[in-house]
Structure 1
Amino acid sequence: MFHTRDISTMIILNDSNDDNSLVFSLESLTQAGIILIMSLAIVVTNVLIIATFVNFRGPSEVINCYLLSLSVADLLCGLFIVPLSVYPALVQNWVYGDILCRVVGYLEVTLWAVTVYTFMWISVDRYLAARKPLRYETIQTKTRCQCWMAFTWISAAMMCCPPLLGFQKPLFDAEAYICMLDWGNMAAYSATLSILILGPSLITIIYTYTYIFTMMKKLRSGVPIHDKEYATALSENLSNPSHIMSFVLVIAFWVSWTPYIGVKIYEYIMGVKLTHPFLHFGIVWIGFLNSFWKSIIIVTMSPQFRLALRIFCMTICCRYKGRMQAELIGMEADD
């Protein structure tokens, strides 16, 4: 199929000393601009979140370890994946070579796996806070959570290695302007990896949040709990905004990637490929946009993070950071 190009919407850059010229259409400029803005937004918001968590010296929840891991994964995406699609979107071609294309594809699937596994650990953390409120602080220590996250990053990096080290040529998506590994020639491995990543994560998330919301409903309905100490601890834990925030993070992630996954499943079942460039471009980058939305959700739904952000903003240029943090934390505790 041949496509006509509207010359009136093109910008032609021609070097007088060279016969080569670059032709930028309005469509390519718009798409490159969208990708560039996304990259800047992802980097700025996640740098701010990481700096805020690292700067905060007050008592913090264990879930912050997981949120920090999510922000690191999103920052790596904003630094090493998204920006590399800006120039290819302009010239309609991958210009950085097969090796870098392969590395980008590897990073994509690795960071995606880290994110999915991290959501699983967050759901387990919230489940333990509701299931064992009296023992939660002894079960979920920061050291233990940091070990789980280190294990998650290492295992995800190792599981996704075979396609990176294989001999298949990486694929450049000419409609979304992004490189991917060739999973089609490794169908058995791809299916196994999908089961290992999605299976445990989805089952755990569904079970844990079902339990959490069931317990919330019981408390609101006034179901009697005979152990008063347990009831008090449970009520206090379930009133923590982190439960709802973590659930919204999970929902936002899957809502962002569902269009892309749904289209791929449809294409596989029907045996056809949808030829709508704007549709394909949109569903791919809506998925990547989740790296930005997570930051917005954390800022709007976590009172503790807003306190930490306040402290960070007020102490950037202040010499007495430690004293100011202590005063602000004390003020928050008094409130």
Structure 2
Amino acid sequence: MFGMSINEDNNEIQFCFPNNNLSCVKDSKPKVEYTILYIFVSLLSVFAVFLNLLVIISISHFRQLHTPTNMIVLSLAVADLIVGMIVIPLMGIRFIESCWYFGETFCSVFSFIAYTVVSVSLGNLVFVSVDRYIAVSDPLRYTVRVTTDRIVICIVINWLCCCVYSVIMLYNTMFYPETHDGCYGHCTIFFKFEHFVTDLIVTFVAPSCVILSIYVKIFCVAKHQAKFANSVTGVSKSQRKAGKTLGIVVMVYFMCWIPFYIVTLIEGNESTESMGYNITLWILYLNSCMNPLIYSLFYKWFRISAKHILTLRIFKPSSEYFNLFPEDK
């Protein structure tokens, strides 16, 4: 049945693996649609990798940027870089070709990577909100309570916990893919509805509630401090500006992710074939490009460091000591 070609309405049905009797059917698309989709996926991947590399190189290279807050931004950029370098290209090929050409083993590895970086990103945003709350509510003791070493430890724990959680949630998909009914050339994560609801609460609802409650407290503290604006130092103003910028990062994250969760919750596992699912999925991936764009709009240091990188000035002796905050002179 699967080994033969079938002619229906003058359109030959194609299979992902013509020589395999269990092969999935390959969706046929017009050549123009193929071209447009591949251009879109390629540009999205390139932009995500390029912009997040700028963030990673900036924070890693310039000594002035070695702050606790920027360590969290660096971790977030690494997660977004993985999305741009691995998740977007492979998901793009699977979406356009409607086939998975990379084998069952790599399907499991890919699912693990994609699931982990999502969890890591949200964990980083929780750390960002806590960091900003301490900076605004207790600025005098901030440098004592929040150190780079402590933040690095928290980031490592976050990545490890997300890896372990991903293995637990994807255990059957990763180690027993044959238990799921499906044709050869298919790569999809299967969840029972109750598991999906549990995962939704653990990896999105609960962290989101924590983040939002902390930012409400930050807003209240900032409103109270505004009454004493004349006594606010330049450092605390800088901290509050950073809090505002990172707050925008959090809100953009929610705007990209909430539609995806709503569609998946409503449609369940069948949503992988729907137009709504695919649209919200690619909106979700756009988030990996958004954070560096937000930094470029609100952080002058990012624009200066990007200029140094793109003009290759970072290869000059002692370039790591360049001043990225000229207004401080």
CA distance 1:325–1:5, shift in 2 (3 Å)? farther
Tell me the residue number matched to 1:248.
Answer: 248
Q: Name which of structure 1's ranges 128-137 and 149-158 shifts more when overlaid on structure 2.
A: 128-137
The count of aligned residue pairs is: 303
Tell me the residue number matched to 2:135.
Answer: 129
CA distance 1:280–1:131, shift in 2 (3 Å)? same
CA distance 1:255–1:299, shift in 2 (3 Å)? same
Structure 1 position 234, deviation (Å)? 9.9
Tell me the residue number matched to 1:284.
Answer: 281
Tell me the residue number matched to 1:205.
Answer: 211
Structure 1 position 27, deviation (Å)? 2.6
Once the two structures are superposed, residues 273-311 of structure 1 have per-residue CA deviations (whole angstroms, 9 ceiling, x without a partner) of 679854332211111110011111112112232333344
Once the two structures are superposed, residues 215-241 of structure 1 have per-residue CA deviations (whole angstroms, 9 ceiling, x without a partner) of 222333x2x69xx9xx64698257632
Distance in 1 separating the partners of 2:166 and 2:177: 14
Aligned AA for 2:190?
A: D
Once the two structures are superposed, residues 172-197 of structure 1 have per-residue CA deviations (whole angstroms, 9 ceiling, x without a partner) of 999xx99442122xx45444333332
Distance in 2 separating the partners of 1:86 and 1:290: 15
Matches within 5 A, 1:99-118: 99-118=105-124
CA distance 1:173–1:136, shift in 2 (3 Å)? farther
Partner-residue secondary structure (3-state), 1:58 = helix
Partner-residue secondary structure (3-state), 2:121 = helix
Q: Name which of structure 1's ranges 77-86 and 153-162 shifts more when overlaid on structure 2.
A: 77-86
Aligned AA for 2:189?
A: L
Find 2:126's aligned residue among 120, 137, 142.
120
1:253/1:290 contact within 8 Å kept = yes
Structure 1 position 101, deviation (Å)? 1.6
Structure 1 position 318, deviation (Å)? 4.7
Distance in 2 separating the partners of 1:114 and 1:123: 14
**Is structure 2 residue 176 aligned with structure 1 residue 181?**
no
Distance in 1 separating the partners of 2:325 and 2:67: 17
Distance in 1 separating the partners of 2:281 and 2:180: 15
Distance in 2 separating the partners of 1:28 and 1:218: 55
Distance in 1 separating the partners of 2:307 and 2:188: 39
- The runs of 5 or more residues in structure 1 that have no matched partner are 8-21
Find 1:157's aligned residue among 157, 163, 175.
163
1:114/1:153 contact within 8 Å kept = yes
Tell me the residue number matched to 1:91.
Answer: 97
Aligned AA for 1:130?
A: V
Find 1:299's aligned residue among 296, 299, 306.
296
2:135/2:239 contact within 8 Å kept = no
Distance in 2 separating the partners of 1:243 and 1:5: 59
CA distance 1:159–1:332, shift in 2 (3 Å)? same
Distance in 2 separating the partners of 1:208 and 1:79: 32
Tell me the residue number matched to 2:263.
Answer: 263
Q: Name which of structure 1's ranges 294-303 and 191-200 shifts more when overlaid on structure 2.
A: 191-200
Structure 1 position 208, deviation (Å)? 1.3
Structure 1 position 63, deviation (Å)? 1.0
Structure 1 position 314, deviation (Å)? 4.6
Q: Report percent identity of matched pairs.
A: 21
**Is structure 2 residue 142 aligned with structure 1 residue 142?**
no
Structure 1 position 331, deviation (Å)? 3.9
Distance in 2 separating the partners of 1:64 and 1:319: 23
Structure 1 position 330, deviation (Å)? 7.4
CA distance 1:249–1:6, shift in 2 (3 Å)? farther
1:128/1:136 contact within 8 Å kept = yes
Q: Name which of structure 1's ranges 48-57 and 160-169 shifts more when overlaid on structure 2.
A: 160-169
Partner-residue secondary structure (3-state), 1:135 = helix
Structure 1 position 87, deviation (Å)? 3.5
TM-score (ref. length: structure 2): 0.79
RMSD: 3.4
CA distance 1:278–1:164, shift in 2 (3 Å)? closer
Find 1:31's aligned residue among 12, 21, 37.
37
Tell me the residue number matched to 1:17.
Answer: none
Tell me the residue number matched to 1:333.
Answer: 328
Once the two structures are superposed, residues 13-37 of structure 1 have per-residue CA deviations (whole angstroms, 9 ceiling, x without a partner) of xxxxxxxxx9652333322322122
Structure 1 position 138, deviation (Å)? 0.5
1:46/1:295 contact within 8 Å kept = yes
**Is structure 2 residue 78 aligned with structure 1 residue 81?**
no
Aligned AA for 2:286?
A: L
Q: Name which of structure 1's ranges 44-53 and 150-159 shifts more when overlaid on structure 2.
A: 44-53
Structure 1 position 212, deviation (Å)? 1.4
Find 2:70's aligned residue among 64, 75, 78.
64
